[in-house]
Structure 1
Amino acid sequence: MVRCLGCMADIPEEEEICRHCGYQKGTDVKEAYYLLPGKMLGGKYLIGKVLGYGGFGVTYIGWDATLKRKVAVKEYLPSDFATRSYGAELLTVFSGEATVQFEAGLNSFISEAKRLAKFNRIPEIVDIYDCFMENGTGYIIMEFLEGVTVKEILKTQKNIPVDEARRIAMAVLRGLSEVHKEGIIHRDIAPDNIFINNKGEVKILDFGAARYATAAQSRSLSVVLKPGYAPEEQYRSRGEQGPWTDVYAMGATFYRMITGILPEESIERMVEDHLKPPSALGITIEPNTEAALMNSLNVRKEFRTRDAETFYKELDSDEKVERIQEEKTVQEDFKIPAWMRWGTVAAGMLVCFCIILLATGKISFTKKQIDSVGGAEALKEGECYVPNVSGMSYEEAEKVLQEKNLTVLINGMNYSESIEKNKILNQTPKDGEIITEEETVYVIMSGGGQEVMMPDLSGMEYEEARELIAAQNLVLKTDGVTEEYSDFVEKGRIISQNVDPEERIKVQTEITLTVSLGSLSTETAVLTVPDVRGMTKNEALACLSQLKESTGFTYSLGKVKKEFSTEVEKGKIISQGLEPGSEVRTNEPLTLVLSKGPQKVQVPEVVYMSKEEAVKKLEEAGLSVQIQEEYSSKVSKGLVISQSQTSDAKVGKGTAITISISLGEEPKKSDSGNSNKTPSSPTEPQEPQQEPQEPQPQQPQEPQAPQPGGEVLEDDGGVVEDDNNNVVAD
């Protein structure tokens, strides 16, 4: 038995698709910066699939191997400050100010977890089991929850009955009142952060998100400022936040639950407030509950319910709750003075003039020069601004940087939908930073859009096909299922698909299917089963069609399975479910087993990965690996320079793929004129010289030519196959 990385249930080792959750073994991650399923953390936590991603972290399903229980694992990974190469474990933190921001947020992430662990006794707070530092970042091990969020409930129904919404709100307020006493504010109460487990218990998710961002200018701030739920003080950099901040967010969530309407943004309500009480919208609600709700939604904090405990008591009160009317003591005048209007016109003309100069090449600036008051004059001797090389090829970047006396070095690869393959995805140092001449700019190359192999779904049951499509990170189009009657395909099974089997396509590609409604005929007859072995599927269908023409009856085609075979040609039938020559009723489906020919696998792309990552990825695909080393001034030491088979090739399982590993830049020649010796390839040991020779300058060893073929592995090598034994993932 092995553990399913989608739900952590025990399943048979040979089972490719989990019977409990439908997770396909070997399913690739959707983003390159996610940890690959199967990694171990802290020596005891097994990482599974990704459950969710926010602006500051990734949450995975996990398994505590010591206590034998499912857990949720939250990883600190702020996208503004850090990233990770595909297959790597260690994070890459961006340089400069990003490093400071990352470290401050990481410290907050860990310290907040330790503080929240004190509240494990409170039913509404998710239990914290462990927290630690690893892979250059932090992890929180939490209680695993099964159920739905309020957001998911509101997707299926317009609103929630008032009594049930009140119960949910009071549970959240109970939890908040406890943590508020310790000085912790949530700052992101909203339907997606309120969870109802399978027992009906309410849990508050994602504490501390706002504190993980350490600067107001962080782009990730938008992740924790949800329009409609955020009070006005969250829109201001110096806005005073406190328990009343969570009160407003809970009030907005309660309002959304019972009315189905999201309140206007608080910053707009400050100018003109159109928020109507629920009763004015036709909602049946007790006066006390409505008064408590509307008090929590007062825009200015001085008129708003001060804390969660007070809000809870008002919702639970039998005595009359007084409605606090917000006083509009200040009338804002948003008219623009005449001098400002003329100033705006002048500024606009100046901007247009500058744009013309920039477009004609008369002036040009780096990002830093635009931001800097001193501009180029701020540079010291021997310093320069780093040009922006994102989106360029290596050769283009090299030329641009050489003009600044800088060098460029490839330091990894990540997938990208926006930057085409072999173009620069990002750089360190960043555009506009000041560095000393002759320094190195490290770049991450784009691997292009991530691709998967389209499985062959023909003959599968609809539900089985739908689960496999999702497991392959593909999308079943909303209106992409059509149904047809078929004399040859059993009811409920797939007749055809819009993408050919084994075609390489981008993840999230929309798939359409044609599903059989079965035969229109309800009559049956006893017929002799034909022998279709050795035929192709189309030839077998033609044979069944001829049978129908001669008898008026036919067999429907049942499940079509596929198996690897070295004896039967690819695409031809190895065996059939009904014995040839036997007599059966024609409503009994004829199952087929088709040959996939000798087993082949898709070669994964490993260029610019680390040696360890590349070897693991190739071996998981069922390939063997040969390694050679060579000097490179282009690629960082320890990364793959090239591979003998490209990623668009399919080769036999066990084929040896040769990868060239960078030794870094070649050592410079010594004063005597002799160069340092080039290390010989580990696969090609040099013969010792038999006689003393005259010393000669040695030249760097030429890269070895790619050697196709190789020893066939005995094990599966981690190749992912669907139920029809198709290889569907690297």
Structure 2
Amino acid sequence: MIGQDLGGRYEILTRIGGGGMALVYKAHDVLLNRNVAVKVLRQQFVHDEEFIRRFRREAQSAAALSHPNVVSIYDVGQEEDTHYIVMEYIEGHNLNEVILERAPLQPDEAVRIAMQIADALDHAHQNHIIHRDIKPHNILIGKNGRVKVTDFGIARAVTSSTITQTGSVLGSVHYFSPEHAKGINTGEKSDLYSLGIVLYQMLTAKLPFLGESPISVALKHLQENFEEPRIVNPHIPQSVENVILKAMRKNPNERYGSAHEMLLDLDTCLRPERLKEPKITFIHVNDMEETRVMPAIRGDFPPPAPKEQERNQPLSSKTDEQAKDSTLTPKAKGWKKPLTVVGVTLIILALIIGGFIWLLGWLDVAEVDVPYVVGKSETEARQMIEAVGLKVEDPVLHEHNKEVPKDQVLSQTKRNMRVKEGSLIQITVSDGPELEELGNYVGKSLQTAIDELGALGVIEDQIMIEYVFSEEAADTIIQQSPKPGEEYNPESVEFKFMVSKGRETVPMPNLIGKRLDEAKDLIKANELTLDTADILYEPSYLHQKDFVISQDPYKPKDLVSKGAKISIRVSSGPPADAKNHQFNIVISPAEAGKTSEIRIIYSDASGENIEWDKRQITSTQTFPVTVIVAPDTEANVTVYRDNQFIDRKVITYEELLKGTNSSTLTIPGEEVQATEEPVQAEVDESNDEPIEEEQTGQQEQQQESEQP
């Protein structure tokens, strides 16, 4: 059923309970976007037309109830052989679970729960609906403490043929009223008796009547008195015990007149002035149905008349009778007819008595004890049942059960009793936990698999995840175990998913400023992809030809998946209208024969104040410095010797258009330096260009003579 859609509207999510007649599932109403509870009729009843008809009628009548303490019924439907009832879904526990976990409950809590049940029963009784199966299993308690009564009207749909098949009625025998146990029509007060037992159990943690078999428990409801609540639990107030004693009277006339009357009594029983009230007493009312000893009847004829009556009889009448007798006496043949009648009668009586004795002998079949086969395998159970002369009723019922292993008997009928040889015993065999068929999650996201499996009752601790690098998108399932289509137990299976974490990543290398062939080697070493179409060339003043200008779309040190495609821009050299010019710098040491440090700086279209070189010289040397000049700009070269500004030479783009491809800057040694020592060169910090305050006439003439 898990995953099935009923009526194209109710998506079955998980099983939440079940009983002898139906299984209950949590479902999602896709139309109204809410969770609901769906009760599905067991398959063994789907062909019982009378059962289905009454089941529907009672479910529909219960749907007419609208009360905060009644589980609402939303829908009744059928899909092929599946009959279902859609009800309100209550998030919480049933009262039986609360009793098992915490009973005995505090009086105020028990009374509060009982009041809400009584209020629900009052509403139902006013609508002419009798529950007939009030027990803790049918009382739901939500997380907000609200009490909800469920299964209204369902007990009425149980026919005599289903009582022994399902055990559903006998299963509730501990909460039967005496009139229910007698098999007579039950009324509203039967529900009040059951509510009294529920209140008794909440406050004492035990049931009032226990027995070895359902029949023995039913007889105790009829014949025996229960142990009073305050004997079991002295902490129960007398006023609360009085409510229980009145609700559980065997004679319905001595119980509460209605659920509303019981509700009013519950509402006031915990008031301080009532806590120590006197114990309730009852006037004995003769029950015409109770068992009595009747006097034996000695004969079928009236007693003889007194002798005085005979003496007073008239003489004439006696004389007449004697005369009649004397008249009949001469007829000798009259005796044969009575004798014939008597003879025939005796023969008939003999035949009747003989047949009756024969019938009793035929009906008097030996009784045997029913073996207890719960927990045995189906084969072993059959052998045990047949060994004592009993038979297994076919077909054997099968039911999924997460507690009982597969192929073991989980229930049987007629246990703990003696039955006639040849009687049929119905057994129910466990099919183990209800298995689900695993879907194919390969290619789906991990979260999708976790959500779908969680709806089936799988917890995250059952899911093992291994992350690996792959070509698939991150969080995509690559492999799964169990394999798709395999059946599994949602409560015990361990899932293993291999999940992609995407392609393996590497830090993006810095390609800017690298030669093209060097950049290609770095891309290949990091398993990245560079297509020829993604190498773009463009002119550049800043980068030499075949050097990388930029890289896209990843910046240096970005984490990039292996195999990712990138593109680069490569310098094709300066633009076509750029001009090259070579400065030939001839420079001597400051003092002949001594070492001087020479530093040359240039500015052109490729940048400002670029250091060309720094060297140690001991003699006059020539240094060629090539610069690039863009249109409408100029280039210059500046020379420092021993950390002092010596000279600067400028060339403009207009001069280069005239054909000036090179020029010479000569810097002599000591004799020139001596004249220059007083002159200080200031460097403009904004562009590092020297500002000369004075130039000797000799230097100006020398520079002019060196220019072409």
- What TM-score do you get using the length of structure 2 for normalisation? 0.43
Larger Rg: 2
